[in-house]
Chain A
Amino acid sequence: MDFSNINWKRAAIQPGIPILLLVLVAFAPLYGSGYIVTMFTYFILYIIITVSWTIFSGATGYISLASAAFYGVGIYAAAMFGERMPFIFVIFIAGFASFVLAFIVGAITLRLRGIYFAMFTFGLVVLMKEVIHYWEITIEGTRGHFVIYQSNETIFYYLLGIFVVTIIVAYIIRRSKFGLALASIGENEEAAGHTGINVTMVKIITFAVSAIFMAAAGAVMATKLTYIDPGVAFNPMMSFSPALMAIFGGMASIYGPVAGAVIFSYLQELLMTGSLKNYYMLIFGAILVATIIYLPSGVTGLIQNLWRRFKGARSAPTRG
């Protein structure tokens, strides 16, 4: 193997900074107060959901609002199997169930393009919520289930593990031929088909793979919530949040969704429990509208633009 082509500095810096950050976060339970762990748990949860949403929707441009369905499947898997088998199996079952569901949904929505796909996936979430709700109330005569709880640290490290896998998978997909195929579908689906890409298969597989992580995260979070019901599991906000966070962060790089998820969930945290709680939705909404109007390529896009302008200003004199 020829090592001379490897740019060692780049190789050190590119994965180096994320790994440094990861280590910093990983030791949070050791140095942080109790609540730090909870807060970071939610940050990581939203990062997982947002990044896995971006794997499919960011690349292809199909806005999926089914995230809550997959997350909910994970939560219900934990509620149903949590007491019967080791936790790690529950997570695998959740991931598998969600993969199957996403595969089926992907297969039957092939004809739907653009906004119809978004509407279908949203309908799916609410339908699942309504039907399970009805089943619980009228057939079982109750609502919701208790889930045996895990310690905060266990939950945190499980989520961190899922987070690492999600990021690696997202990175691999983005960098592989598969990712190239996805991107070309996003640009022009018909043209992509003509170049020999099996458009259907690529779309369905990616959609199903992205669902695995959402369900796995759901299964872990269920043990933190300790009581779950269809309203919690299939909360439509879980569908909208990843879309908002990804667009807020910018989808051009993998850091965009991560930054978006962290900023948004931190904002939510500050607004909901601060003195502004009565104006929480007002401020949240205003930021959202402002972002859409003034930051169409997200926060990372803005920073890159600023950087380019800064560089441009520096090099301007040479152009005379």
Chain B
Amino acid sequence: MWKKVFKYSIPLTICLILAVSAVLVAGCGGGGVEEGKTEILIGASRDITGPQAGFQAYGFAPLYKAWAEEVNAAGGIDVGGTKLPVRIIEYDDASDPAVCTRNLEKLITQDNVDFLFGPTGTAMLFAAAPIANKYHKIMLCGEGGATTLEPKLAEMPYVFSVLNYSNHFQIPVFADLIEEKGAQTVYICYMNDLHGAEYRLTAQSEFEIRGLQVLQAKSIPMSITDMDPIVKEAKDLNPDVFCMFAYPNQNILFMQTAMALDFNPKCILVGPGCNFEFFNLMFGAALEGVCGEGAWNKNSSPAAAAFAEKVTELVGMGNQDWWGAIVYQSTLEYLQQAIEEAGTLDNDKILEVYRTAHFQTTAGEMWWDIQGENGGGLLPQECYAGQIGQWQSGIFEVIDNDEHNTAPFIYPKAPWPES
């Protein structure tokens, strides 16, 4: 009889021990942070080991960390008279939305973070935004942006979408540019994920409104290794403009294939990836006249020049990001000023500040375009340093056709150099 008891009870005891220890471990982490706040905690679930990890590790994360270090070196953020240092807690989600939601819940309910930084990539925003809103935590969504999230933002007051994206000025600006130069036909190739699909839909409608003809819109999978079919078909159709909405891997592949097969339309738009300095280091002179989403550079303003120098020192030459870096930095500066203005870490009070306040940042004056009655926010076009960039003599020039411009748009682009 005791045999039976032991047979069943031992595995069960193990389960019990595990369950209890789980409770204890989780419980210990959760307690004791509330009273006497000594630091400002910011949580983030980021892609540390997944497909976007390269972006995140070299381009984005150092910016956030450098900002926190800079703030702490100055004594911290002034919250109602006491200066509190900032600490960023970062978990890995490997670009898996399921893990991301879980990480965010852990950050909010166990680590008791005060604010959230968004995850890496557009599709991930969709996973993160509802969670931030569910738990009433302000979230600054950096690297990504989605057209289909815009109507939802009206019901998500805690979510602030930082980056410019497809219909959030980039593609309309680009469409104006090529229309003015008399382009007639476009070939669109897009990544079969949310990022690609949104850019494609926006591009197709913006181009057609302006009377440009979209010859073809083809989706490619993330795992594509052979771009020949796309480039060969495009070469046959001979479009004026070629748009490539994919990630650096595929964009690099496209550039190599286009050069090898000598496909040289009058204008090429590739991104993201093109906005990184490593593209320039990789392709050099061949990049002359290639456009990408972005954009800013050291000629944007004296503050931008100083910031560019700082970032290069921080992340190295190749990881200089001429699209988002300046916006991320500026929204962080805005956050600091908003906390100081509110004089508390109460998210709802800070939200009040976000709805109305204008603050001075690296990118210039910044304020939020609140969606709906009292929804989340987007940045207005004036607050960005630029929408479309074009590589000209090794500089990613802003070619927007407005006050952000650093150089005129060159159309048609130069032929590929002889190799």
Contacts and interface: CB of A to CB of B under 8 A. Distances in A.
Direct contact of A and B (CB under 8 A): yes
Interface of A: 7, 9-10, 13-14, 17-18, 21, 24-25, 28, 32-36, 38-40, 42-43, 133-134, 136-138, 141-144, 146, 149, 224-229, 231-232, 235, 253, 255-256, 258-259, 262-263, 266, 270, 272-273, 277-278, 280-281, 299-300, 303-304, 307
Given A33-B26, A35-B110, A146 B126 contact: yes
Contact of B130 (A138, A146, A273, A307): A146
A142 B11 contact: no
Nearest to B111: A35
A254 to B, nearest CB: 9
Given A34-B105, A262-B18, A277-B91, 16 more contacts: A13-B5, A28-B23, A32-B23, A32-B26, A35-B106, A137-B197, A144-B123, A146-B130, A149-B130, A224-B101, A228-B97, A229-B97, A229-B194, A253-B11, A280-B49, A303-B11
Interface string B354-382: 00000000000000000000000000000
Interface in B138-185: 148, 152
Contacts of A226: 101, 127, 130-131, 134
A43 B19 CA distance: 10
B96 interface: yes
Contact of B1 (A7, A18, A134): A7
B259 to A, nearest CB: 28
B106 A225 contact: no
Nearest to B12: A17
B48 interface: yes
A67 to B, nearest CB: 15
Contacts of B134: 149, 226
A230 B322 CA distance: 32
A40 B22 CA distance: 9
B22 A272 contact: no
Contacts, number: 159
Contact of B16 (A9, A21, A256): A21
Interface in B30-51: 30-31, 48-49
Nearest to A277: B92
B9 to A, nearest CB: 6
A235 B192 contact: no
Contacts of A231: 96-97
Main secondary structure of the interface of B (DSSP, over half): helix
B102 interface: yes
A21 B6 CA distance: 16
Given A33-B30, A33-B31, A259-B15, A38 B109 contact: yes
A210 B198 CA distance: 38
Contacts of A229: 97, 123, 126, 194
B208 to A, nearest CB: 14
15 contacts: A13-B4, A34-B109, A36-B22, A38-B106, A133-B192, A138-B219, A229-B126, A258-B15, A259-B15, A263-B18, A272-B91, A277-B91, A278-B49, A299-B14, A304-B10
B30 A35 contact: yes
B6 A307 contact: yes
Q: Pick from A133, A227, A262, A307 the residue with the most CB of B within 10 Å.
A: A227
A34 B8 CA distance: 32
B330 interface: no
Given A232-B96, A259-B14, A143 B5 contact: no
Contacts of A278: 48-49
B218 to A, nearest CB: 9
Contact of B148 (A28, A142, A225, A253): A142
Most buried by A among B9, B108, B127, B201: B127
Contacts of B148: 142
A34 B109 CA distance: 5
Interface string B193-213: 110111011000000000000
Given A32-B27, A143-B197, A280-B92, A227 B16 contact: no
B103 interface: yes
Contacts of B127: 225-227
B98 interface: yes
B167 to A, nearest CB: 13
A42 B198 CA distance: 32
Given A9-B1, A142-B197, A307 B10 contact: yes
A35 B105 contact: yes
B194 A255 contact: no
B18 A144 contact: no
Contacts of B9: 13, 17
B214 to A, nearest CB: 14
Contact of B8 (A14, A143, A232, A277): A14
B26 A24 contact: no
Contacts of B106: 35, 38, 273
Interface string B57-81: 0000000000000000000000000
A300 B102 CA distance: 29
A225 B97 contact: yes
A315 B317 CA distance: 72
A201 B109 CA distance: 48
Contacts of B6: 307
A300 B6 CA distance: 12
Contact of A144 (B10, B29, B102, B126): B126
Could you say which of A38, A133, A280 has the most chain B C-beta atoms within 10 Å of its C-beta? A38
Interface in B250-308: none
Contacts of B335: none
Contacts of A253: 11
Contact of B92 (A144, A255, A272, A304): A272
Nearest to A134: B192
B15 A21 contact: yes
A-B pairs with lowest CB-CB distance, top 5: A34-B109, A35-B110, A33-B30, A255-B11, A226-B130
